[in-house]
C-alpha cells in the first residue's frame, strides 16, 4: 500500500529580526519523493527542508511510486511577513537671544519603543524628548520591540543670535517739507522698531513722520530671535525765504497784443509762478501776456519758502467772442454748412480748412472732413479763433445674403438678407423683373439676384446671390428576365445614375416593392420609379417579364422480350432538347435517351427541357413472351408495339 506523508513542520513570521525560516518535511515512508513549490507554482527544490526568506504560500508534495501506480499527498503553509519599519517624526528648534535651550521632539506609531539620540559635542540621550543647548544636527533612531525594525531621522537645532543689520536715515525740514519721514532699513524683515527723539518723541513705525529738527534714536528688535541693534538719525531745518522782483516795460495793444513780464530773484535756484487776469497762470520767469490787469509773481526758493511781488499791465486787448459748431458729412449729406458765431458786434469772419478751403462767410458750405478754423476780427482789430470738426460717416453697411436650391422638394425658396449694421434697409432685384423691399422673400425662379443694403447714413453696399436650380432626375433603368419552370422566381434589377435614391416598383397582382432588386413570380409589365433623395426629382422605367413554362412532349417505343431476345433497347425522344431519366422494375434507373432493359414491366420516362426546366412524364410497358411453341408453330417474330405519343 502506497502511503506517502506530506506534512510541513516549522512556521513563523518573517521580520527585521527574523529574516529566514526553515521549513521541514515530516518523516515519510522510504521511497517518498518530496517537491517544494511556491504559490505561483514555481519549483523550489526536492530537499526535505526549505529555507524561506520571502512571505507567501509554500506547498510540499510527497509522491510514492509502486506497482505501476503513483500516490501524491500535499501540505500547504502560509508564511507571513512583518517588516514594517516604525513611522518616525522629529523636530528640532532654534536658539536665539531669548531662548538658550530647546526640547527635541520625536514621535512614533509603535508601542514601547526604544530611543537613541546623538548630536553635537558627544550629545546622547535615550528618551523621546531630550533638551539641547547647542546648534547642530541631532539624529534619533527608534526600534520596534515586536519586529526589531528601526527608523532613523534627523532634526536640526539652529543658532539664531545675530542682531539685525540696520541703517538709519535723517531728513531736512523746510517751508516745502514741514513734515518729513526718517527711516531705518533692516535685515531681516521680521523686526519691530522703537524711535525716541526731541520733546518726548516716541514711535514704533519703521519710517515715522517728524516735524521737529533734532537727533532721533532707533532700537530695532528681530521678532524671531529677539536680538537688538541701535542707530541714530539727524533732522535739519531750512526755512529762509527768497527775494521776489517783478516789472513790465510795455503796454498791451492790438499791434502789440503780447508783452513780456519780467521776474527776478537773487536766490539761486528759485522758481517762478505768475497769476493774473482771466485765470492767467505761467511757470516761466518772463511770460508773455495779452490782458491788462495786475499780475503777481510768486518766487519759490529751493527750500520751498516763497516771496511775492506784483506789477500792473495796461492796455486794450479785448478779443471778440467766437464759437464754432462741429458737424458730420454722410452719403445723405455730402456737404453741410459750417456754423460760426460771435457775441461781439461788428466782427468779420474768416474760415480756413482742409484742401486749401477758405471762406469769408459766417456759415459757408463745406464738403471735406477735417478741422476748420474760424477767425473772428473785432473792430479793435483784435481776433479770436475757434475750431469746428467735420467728421465723415461714409461707412458702407454690412450685407449678407443666403438662399437654398430650387428642386423638386422645394419648388420655391427664400432669399434672405441680413446685416450687422443697425437700421439697414434692403432692396432685392432679380430675374424677370423681380423686386422686393423685404429682407426675406420667396422666389421660384433660379438665377442671380442683386441685394442692395442702405445704412442710416445713406451709404449703400451690394452683393450678388445665385439661386441654384436642381431638377435633374436621378435616371432610372429596369431589367428583368423570363419566368420558367427552373426559374419560377426571379429578381428585377433596378439602376440609377445616383447613389442616394428611393426605389418604388409596381406590377401585376398589386405588386409593390421599395427594394432595388425585388423578387417576382408573375409575368407582366413592371414599372419602376426612382426618387432622388437630394432634390426629390423622379425618373421612371418599365420592363416586360415574359413566361416560358410549356413542358416538352416525351415519346418512346417499346418491345417484347422473348427467349431469343432477352434484352431490348428503348428509344426515348422529345420535341425539344431535353434531359431523359428512366426508372423501372427492380429499382431500374437510367439517365439517357436509350436504355437497354432485360426485365418486363412498366418503365417511366421523364423528359426535362434544357430550355425552361419543364418536364413531361410517360409510361412504357415491356412485355415478355417465353411460352414453348406448338409442333406446328413456326418461329416467332419480335414485334414492337408503337407507343402513343402524348
CATH number of 17's domain = 2.60.40
* 365, 380: one domain: yes
Torsion, Cα 431 436 442 443, to 10 degrees, reads: -10
Residue ranges for the chain with pLDDT beneath 70: 1, 628-646
CA distances from 484 to 43, 313, 431, 509, 549 (A): 76, 133, 59, 18, 5
User: In Å, how far are 43, 251, 610, 629 from 633, measured between CA atoms?
Assistant: 106, 189, 49, 6
Across-strand partners of 49?
Answer: 24
Q: For the domain that residue 465 is a member of, what is the CATH number?
A: 2.60.40.10
Looking at residue 30, what is its pLDDT?
83
12 and 78 part of one domain: yes
Last residue of a domain, one of 51, 82, 113: 82
pLDDT score, position 251: 83
The pLDDT of residue 643: 37
What is the pLDDT of the chain when averaged over all its residues? Answer: 91
* 78-121 residue pLDDT tens: 988 888 999 999 999 989 998 999 999 999 999 999 999 999 99
Q: How far apart are CA 478 and CA 528, in angstroms?
A: 7
Residues 292 and 272 occupy one common structural domain: yes
Instruction: Please indicate, yes or no, if residue 417 is contained in any of the structural domains.
Output: yes
pLDDT of residue 635: 37
The number of distinct structural domains making up the chain is: 8
Q: Is residue 215 part of a domain?
A: yes
Handedness of CA 300, 306, 309, 315 (dihedral sign): positive
pLDDT in tens, 569-609: 999 999 999 999 999 999 999 999 999 999 999 999 999 99
pLDDT at 637: 36
Residue 630 lies in a domain: no
Establish if 423 belongs to a structural domain: yes
**pLDDT of the residue at 646:** 31
The verdict on residue 359 lying in a domain is: yes
Supply the Cα-derived Rg of the chain in whole angstroms.
63
Say if 1 falls within a structural domain: no
Tell me how far apart the alpha carbons of residues 320 and 346 are, in angstroms, rounded to a whole number.
Answer: 10
Per the structure, the complete domain to which residue 136 belongs is given by: 88-160
Of 125, 160, 195, the last residue of a domain is 160
DSSP three-state, residue 96: strand
**Do 260 and 283 sit in the same domain of this protein?**
yes
Residue where a domain stops, chosen among 548, 577, 605: 548
Amino acid at each position: 500500500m502506497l502511503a506517502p506523508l506530506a506534512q510541513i513542520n516549522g512556521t513563523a513570521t518573517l521580520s527585521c529580526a527574523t529574516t529566514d525560516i526553515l521549513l521541514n518535511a515530516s518523516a515519510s515512508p522510504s521511497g517518498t519523493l518530496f517537491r517544494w513549490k511556491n504559490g505561483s507554482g514555481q519549483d523550489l527544490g526536492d530537499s526535505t527542508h526549505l529555507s524561506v526568506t520571502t512571505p507567501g504560500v509554500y506547498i510540499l508534495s510527497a509522491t510514492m511510486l509502486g506497482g505501476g501506480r503513483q500516490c501524491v499527498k500535499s501540505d500547504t503553509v502560509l508564511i507571513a511577513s512583518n517588516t514594517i519599519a516604525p513611522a518616525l517624526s522629529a523636530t528640532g528648534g532654534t536658539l536665539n537671544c531669548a531662548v538658550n535651550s530647546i526640547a527635541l521632539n520625536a514621535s512614533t506609531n509603535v508601542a514601547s519603543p526604544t530611543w537613541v539620540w546623538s548630536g553635537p559635542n558627544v550629545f546622547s540621550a535615550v528618551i523621546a524628548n531630550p533638551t539641547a543647548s547647542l546648534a547642530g544636527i541631532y539624529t534619533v533612531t527608534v526600534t520596534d520591540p515586536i519586529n526589531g525594525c528601526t527608523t532613523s531621522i534627523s532634526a536640526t537645532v539652529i543658532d539664531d543670535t545675530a542682531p539685525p543689520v540696520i541703517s538709519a536715515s535723517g531728513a531736512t525740514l523746510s517751508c516745502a517739507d514741514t513734515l518729513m519721514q526718517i527711516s531705518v532699513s533692516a535685515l531681516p524683515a521680521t523686526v519691530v522698531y522703537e524711535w525716541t527723539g526731541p520733546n518726548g518723541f516716541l514711535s514704533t513705525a519703521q519710517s515715522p513722520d517728524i516735524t521737529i529738527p533734532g537727533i532721533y534714536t532707533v532700537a530695532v528688535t528681530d521678532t524671531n530671535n529677539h536680538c537688538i541693534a541701535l542707530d541714530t538719525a539727524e533732522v535739519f531745518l531750512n526755512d529762509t525765504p527768497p527775494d521776489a522782483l517783478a516789472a513790465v516795460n510795455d503796454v498791451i495793444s492790438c499791434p502789440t497784443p503780447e508783452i513780456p513780464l519780467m521776474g527776478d530773484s537773487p536766490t539761486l535756484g528759485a522758481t517762478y509762478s505768475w497769476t493774473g487776469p482771466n485765470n492767467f497762470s505761467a511757470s516761466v520767469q518772463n511770460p508773455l501776456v495779452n490782458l491788462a490787469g495786475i499780475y503777481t509773481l510768486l518766487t519759490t526758493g529751493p527750500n520751498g519758502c516763497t516771496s511775492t511781488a506784483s506789477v500792473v499791465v495796461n492796455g486794450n486787448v479785448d478779443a471778440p467772442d467766437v464759437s464754432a459748431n462741429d458737424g458730420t458729412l454722410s452719403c445723405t449729406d455730402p456737404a453741410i454748412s459750417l456754423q460760426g458765431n460771435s457775441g461781439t458786434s461788428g466782427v468779420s469772419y474768416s474760415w480756413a480748412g482742409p484742401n486749401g478751403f477758405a471762406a469769408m462767410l459766417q456759415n459757408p458750405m463745406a464738403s471735406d472732413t477735417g478741422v476748420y478754423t474760424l477767425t473772428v476780427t473785432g473792430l479793435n482789430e483784435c481776433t479770436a479763433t475757434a475750431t469746428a470738426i467735420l467728421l465723415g460717416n461714409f461707412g458702407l453697411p454690412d450685407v449678407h445674403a443666403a438662399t437654398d436650391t430650387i428642386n423638386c422638394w422645394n419648388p420655391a425658396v427664400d432669399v434672405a438678407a441680413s446685416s450687422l449694421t443697425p437700421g439697414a434697409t434692403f432692396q432685392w432685384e432679380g430675374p424677370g423683373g423681380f423686386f422686393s423691399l423685404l429682407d426675406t422673400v420667396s422666389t421660384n425662379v433660379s438665377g442671380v439676384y442683386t441685394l442692395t443694403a442702405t445704412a442710416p447714413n445713406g451709404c449703400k453696399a451690394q452683393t450678388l446671390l445665385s439661386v441654384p436650380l436642381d431638377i435633374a432626375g436621378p435616371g432610372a433603368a429596369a431589367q428583368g428576365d423570363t419566368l420558367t419552370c427552373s426559374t419560377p422566381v426571379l429578381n428585377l434589377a433596378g439602376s440609377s445614375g445616383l447613389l442616394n435614391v428611393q426605389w418604388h416598383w409596381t406590377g401585376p397582382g398589386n405588386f409593390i416593392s421599395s427594394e432595388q432588386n425585388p423578387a417576382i413570380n408573375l409575368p407582366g409589365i413592371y414599372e419602376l420609379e426612382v426618387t432622388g433623395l437630394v432634390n426629390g426629382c423622379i425618373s421612371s422605367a418599365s420592363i416586360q417579364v415574359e413566361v416560358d413554362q410549356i413542358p416538352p412532349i416525351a415519346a418512346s417505343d417499346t418491345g417484347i422480350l422473348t427467349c431469343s431476345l432477352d434484352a431490348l433497347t428503348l428509344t426515348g425522344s422529345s420535341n425539344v432538347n431535353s434531359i431523359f431519366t428512366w426508372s423501372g422494375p427492380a429499382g431500374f434507373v437510367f439517365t439517357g435517351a436509350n436504355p437497354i432493359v432485360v426485365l418486363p414491366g412498366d418503365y417511366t420516362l421523364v423528359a426535362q427541357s434544357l430550355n425552361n426546366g419543364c418536364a413531361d412524364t410517360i409510361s412504357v410497358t415491356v412485355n415478355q413472351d417465353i411460352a414453348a411453341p406448338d409442333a406446328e408453330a413456326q418461329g416467332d417474330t419480335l414485334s414492337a408495339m408503337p407507343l402513343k405519343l402524348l
